[in-house]
Amino acid sequence: MSIKNKIKKCLDEGEKGGERHKGLKNVAQNTEKAKGHLAKAIKNFNAITDFHDMQYSDWSASAAFYALYQGLLAILSLNGFESRNQSCTFTIIEDLILRQELKELTVEDLRKIFDKSVTEQLEHSDKILDLREEMQYSTKTTLAEQEFQHLKQKTKMLFDKIRTEIETKLS
């Protein structure tokens, strides 16, 4: 399905269910909401290390994913969208990248967070969403130290790009 068709489907879903919609809505640009998403992204980013230090590194994977995801929601707020669906969020962010409305973030960066083409052996995937799901739905309770450090470094690199996108739009 083309990006255009995916966005249409997401917008159609956004029209259903009122505030509990499960899609994408066109809304007024909202800098205050974007700032709130950024603050939450920063809190989640800091939680990556906090969970690790408390011996709950399985939760570090969730904190990493949601640090990035909250940043993407901030970008959407600044571009007049509201999303309640991860797939729709990734689709509209990809569209913004392809239309060159985002200057730092690339499609390759987005694929480091989530890549829909990865459908097998998810427990071996290095995508941040896949790692979050592996840690959330498996019985593992810790990340190996090397795996944790890799997750933290990759998340920081992506987080810095997302944060730059947000702060550039806010300035």
Give the pLDDT confidence of 64-86 residue by residue, as tens digits: 999 999 999 999 999 999 999 99
Residues 5-25 have a mean pLDDT of: 89
Give a yes or no: residue 17 inside a domain: no
What one-letter code names the amino acid at 51?
A: F
Residue 53's CATH number: 1.20.120.330
Its domain, for residue 7, covers 3-12+24-170
| Residues 158 and 106: beta-carbon distance below 8 Å | no
Give a yes or no: residue 107 inside a domain: yes
| Residues 83 and 92: beta-carbon distance below 8 Å | yes
Beta strands in the chain (DSSP E): 24-26, 81-83
Give a yes or no: residue 19 inside a domain: no
Domain count, the chain: 1
If we measure between CA atoms, which residue out of 128, 2, 124, 14 comes closest to residue 71? 128
Give a yes or no: residue 31 inside a domain: yes
Give a yes or no: residue 122 inside a domain: yes
Compute φ and ψ for 85, nearest 5 degrees. Answer: -150, 120
Give a yes or no: residue 160 inside a domain: yes
Cα distance between residue 153 and residue 138, in whole Å: 23
Q: Residue 148: pLDDT band by 50, 70, 90 thresholds?
A: very high
Residues 107-129 have a mean pLDDT of: 75
**Mean pLDDT computed over every residue of the chain:** 92
Is the whole-model pTM more than 0.75?
A: yes
**pLDDT score of 58:** 94
If we measure between CA atoms, which residue out of 159, 168, 142 comes closest to residue 46? 159
